[in-house]
C-alpha cells in the first residue's frame, strides 16, 4: 500500500497544497497576524518538508520541535481550528479524498498539545 505522500504525487503536490494553504491563511484575519514577520518563502519550503514527512514521505524536516516553534505565540483553539480548516480546504482543492483528509488532519491534530497555549 502506498503512503498518502506517494498516492498524491509526493513533494511536488504537497508544495502546491502548502502554497494554496498559506494563501488561505494569509487572507484570514483570525491567524494572518502570526505570519506578519515571517519569511513566507522559507516558511512554505519548511512546511512542505514537514507535511511531506508527516504524510509518509522522506524525513527532510530539520526544524525544531512543535512546542519550541510555537513558544510565545499563545495559540488558542480557535487559531488551531482555523489552520485545520484551511488545510482541509487546501487538500480538498487538490482532489484529496475525505478519507485521506481525515487521515492527514488526524496527524495534524496529534500535535495540538505541542502547539496550543505556549
- Domain annotation for the chain: domains and CATH numbers: 10-115 (1.10.490.10)
- Sequence-distant (6+) residues with CB within 8 A of 32 are 25, 26
| 109, three cell numbers | 491534530
Q: Please check whether residue 105 is in contact with residue 47, taking contact to mean a CB–CB distance below 8 angstroms.
A: no
Q: What is the pLDDT of residue 1?
A: 67
How many residues are given for the chain? 118
Q: Please check whether residue 82 is in contact with residue 28, taking contact to mean a CB–CB distance below 8 angstroms.
A: yes
Which pTM does this prediction carry? Answer: 0.91
Q: What is the pLDDT of residue 59?
A: 85
Task: Give per-10-residue mean pLDDT for the chain (118 aa).
Answer: 88 96 98 96 93 87 86 95 97 94 91 92
Q: What is the pLDDT of residue 50?
A: 86
Taking the C-alpha atoms of residue 77 and residue 34, their distance in angstroms, rounded to an integer, is 14
Q: What is the pLDDT of residue 2?
A: 83
Amino acid at each position: 500500500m502506498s503512503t498518502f505522500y506517494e498516492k498524491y504525487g509526493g513533494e511536488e503536490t504537497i508544495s502546491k497544497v502548502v502554497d494554496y494553504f498559506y494563501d488561505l491563511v494569509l487572507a484570514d484575519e483570525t491567524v494572518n497576524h502570526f505570519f506578519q514577520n515571517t519569511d513566507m518563502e522559507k516558511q512554505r519550503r519548511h512546511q512542505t518538508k514537514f507535511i511531506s514527512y508527516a504524510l509518509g514521505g522522506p524525513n527532510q524536516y530539520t526544524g525544531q520541535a512543535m512546542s519550541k516553534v510555537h513558544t510565545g505565540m499563545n495559540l488558542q483553539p480557535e487559531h488551531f481550528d482555523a489552520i485545520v480548516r484551511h488545510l482541509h480546504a487546501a487538500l480538498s482543492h487538490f482532489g484529496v479524498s475525505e478519507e485521506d483528509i481525515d487521515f492527514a488532519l488526524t496527524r495534524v491534530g496529534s500535535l495540538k498539545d505541542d502547539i496550543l497555549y505556549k
